[in-house]
Structure 1
């Protein structure tokens, strides 16, 4: 009995000790996306990244496979039309050419014999001194020999073309922008070897998000600042607007011609391109993405604003708002927000008032 009391007492102490320990849960800091509130309407500017490029870019490649023997250019080199760029080993194609020529000599002799036999039997047949079957046999043999000769001639022409294809020459004057292979490297037909930039004018390629592409029109004027010389403002005009998005992206390529280029510009330089969009609204409105606005059980509309930004950690506050019209740019906020406030735009459904978050663009 004494042993039983001791066991129960020990168990009670163990349970009490376990109960005294507090379980601490690690606070989850949820990542959210956000944007700064601004007024839109009338005319509004948007800036996108662009890259300068030559007005004509040509990627040169071989039409035959082989091992590169000659690589005659380097990046930045000026080349003239007709200048040799690169060549591959032509030995195999020369052998094919010589074999085809040797075959042609043999089949030419066979064709001549077949023609002589055909001419002789035709005369005999016309004089009733040869049978129809012998005449037709000679005729068939002659036509077959002619077809063989023509086939070999085509092989010779193909072999000659393949020999010619072992060399790449510059199609026009230009500058070597990129060399994509090395000497002694095996290449396949169609693989780019060198990029040649030509044309006196530079263009800028800009990727425009799908929500703005409908507002971009050919002939629109833009302003540009290049990263290499941010103090200089350049003017441009929209030259081409793509009808379909870039492969694997939700952006549309737009080509801008530079109206006041100078000698400081180079292909592949990056720049910021500013477009001015006219929304056709007389009075600017404060707009936020529609996904940022929620509705509680009482029917009140609200957003989460970002407060107490400290490094990676911030806090969100539930803010009741009064909404107006829903436009293609977002939903109008009539009351409850101030310009320049930060509003959560992604991850809203899982937030609570006062919750800590990590900001992510």
Structure 2
């Protein structure tokens, strides 16, 4: 009897362990987003950083030793100004060598062309065979091809020599220098960074739950910590298409023009504010969610979303009434409220009451 009781206890323990294991395995990782109302953006400050809307990393297109760097950080340059030079001697030597080769190739072609003219006259008089004329014709064509090949090499050598001068592609300010005189550099190795201070943009990271409202924002204003109290009008110039893998935020660029007397330089920290335009209230008429969060089972005639029970870490199938599709998502007029946590990926593989591991942005 004692052995039977021990065996039953062991079986019960194993069954509990298997059940616990099954429950643990049933918990699935789920990407979620918290439902946000458009009004949450009204007056909300999104941190950002200024940078030049137009900048260039200047690099030589040929390798060599820097002979001179003519600018320092902070210098203003004009389009076409030479900002740095390489030692041109190796490229000048190569250009001279190719020029000599071109002279020889042209002389050889001149001789071949003269011989071809003579053989053409002799062939007409029947003095030489046609085979000899064909040899002369082939020799002249080969000589001409050699001339063209060396001419192309000469143009390339001229380009390489011109590439020893690094020029500014636009009016701007030198914001950084990465190489000094006498340093050996490779092609495409950054030497100078040039920015255009007249065109400044602020880069902000917008949460995934609010990115769809950005196209409808109006009265955008930007302020910088370095110049407090001054609001600079801005407009959206670019909206990122993919979120950051780590923060689940989207990169949004705001273009702005500092007013006279206000200096904004790349790297300055600030905030961006705005308010939802009338299109949101008119077109959304509810909350906005990613389209990937909605699904319609085969046996249903309406749409659903998975709402997360944050205490139990389980999901519940919630029927919703969809409104109009808009940029980045779809509106929900009934069934959800601001603050709900919903699943946004893998919605077709979940089941009612399933345990999940929440990965909230």
Q: Same fold (TM over 0.5)?
A: yes
Check conservation: 1:100, 1:152, Cα contact below 8 A. Answer: yes
The residue that corresponds to 2:330 in the other structure is: none
The residue that corresponds to 1:119 in the other structure is: 117
The residue that corresponds to 2:161 in the other structure is: 163
Q: Which moved more, 1:207-216 or 1:257-266?
A: 257-266
Say if 1:99 and 1:282 are closer, same or farther in 2 by CA, change over 3 A.
closer
Return the alpha-carbon distance in structure 1 between the equivalents of residues 70 and 309 of structure 2: 58
Say if 1:83 and 1:295 are closer, same or farther in 2 by CA, change over 3 A.
closer
The residue that corresponds to 1:276 in the other structure is: 275
Check conservation: 1:207, 1:251, Cα contact below 8 A. Answer: yes
1:60-71 alignment runs, 5 A limit = 60-71=58-69
1:186, CA displacement in angstroms? 2.2
Higher strand share: 1
The residue that corresponds to 1:138 in the other structure is: 136
The residue that corresponds to 1:316 in the other structure is: none
Say if 1:207 and 1:184 are closer, same or farther in 2 by CA, change over 3 A.
farther
The residue that corresponds to 2:51 in the other structure is: 53
The residue that corresponds to 1:151 in the other structure is: 149
Return the alpha-carbon distance in structure 2 between the equivalents of residues 249 and 62 of structure 1: 37
- The 3-state SS of whatever aligns with 1:120 is helix
Check conservation: 2:238, 2:252, Cα contact below 8 A. Answer: yes
- The 3-state SS of whatever aligns with 1:92 is helix
Check conservation: 1:220, 1:238, Cα contact below 8 A. Answer: no
1:236, CA displacement in angstroms? 2.1
Say if 1:109 and 1:44 are closer, same or farther in 2 by CA, change over 3 A.
same
- The 3-state SS of whatever aligns with 1:211 is coil
The residue that corresponds to 1:293 in the other structure is: 310
Check conservation: 1:218, 1:241, Cα contact below 8 A. Answer: no
- The 3-state SS of whatever aligns with 2:55 is strand
TM-score by length of 1: 0.65
- 40, 44, 47: which one pairs with 1:44? 40
Return the alpha-carbon distance in structure 2 between the equivalents of residues 349 and 213 of structure 1: 24
Higher helix share: 2
Tell me, yes or no, if structure 1 residue 264 matches structure 2 residue 263: yes
The residue that corresponds to 2:87 in the other structure is: 89
1:168, CA displacement in angstroms? 0.9
Unaligned runs of 5+ in 2: 1-33, 288-305, 317-333, 343-355
1:327, CA displacement in angstroms? 5.1
- 91, 94, 98: which one pairs with 2:96? 98
The residue that corresponds to 1:312 in the other structure is: none
Check conservation: 1:111, 1:145, Cα contact below 8 A. Answer: yes
Between structure 1 and structure 2, the one with the greater Rg is: 1
Check conservation: 2:37, 2:338, Cα contact below 8 A. Answer: no
- The 3-state SS of whatever aligns with 1:147 is helix
Return the alpha-carbon distance in structure 2 between the equivalents of residues 102 and 175 of structure 1: 42
Say if 1:292 and 1:48 are closer, same or farther in 2 by CA, change over 3 A.
farther
Unaligned runs of 5+ in 1: 1-37, 300-323, 333-347, 351-360
Return the alpha-carbon distance in structure 2 between the equivalents of residues 207 and 291 of structure 1: 25
Tell me, yes or no, if structure 1 residue 172 matches structure 2 residue 170: yes
The residue that corresponds to 1:238 in the other structure is: 236
Structure 1 runs of 4+ off > 4 angstroms?
244-250, 277-284, 289-292
TM-score by length of 2: 0.65
1:114, CA displacement in angstroms? 1.0
The residue that corresponds to 1:215 in the other structure is: 213
Q: Which moved more, 1:152-161 or 1:248-257?
A: 248-257
Q: Cα deviation per residue 1:186-234 (whole Å; 9 max; x = unaligned)?
A: 2222222212222624221223233322221177332323121334333
Say if 1:78 and 1:260 are closer, same or farther in 2 by CA, change over 3 A.
closer
- The 3-state SS of whatever aligns with 2:40 is strand
Check conservation: 1:178, 1:195, Cα contact below 8 A. Answer: yes
Return the alpha-carbon distance in structure 2 between the equivalents of residues 349 and 219 of structure 1: 34
The residue that corresponds to 2:202 in the other structure is: 204
Return the alpha-carbon distance in structure 1 between the equivalents of residues 138 and 313 of structure 2: 93
1:165, CA displacement in angstroms? 0.5
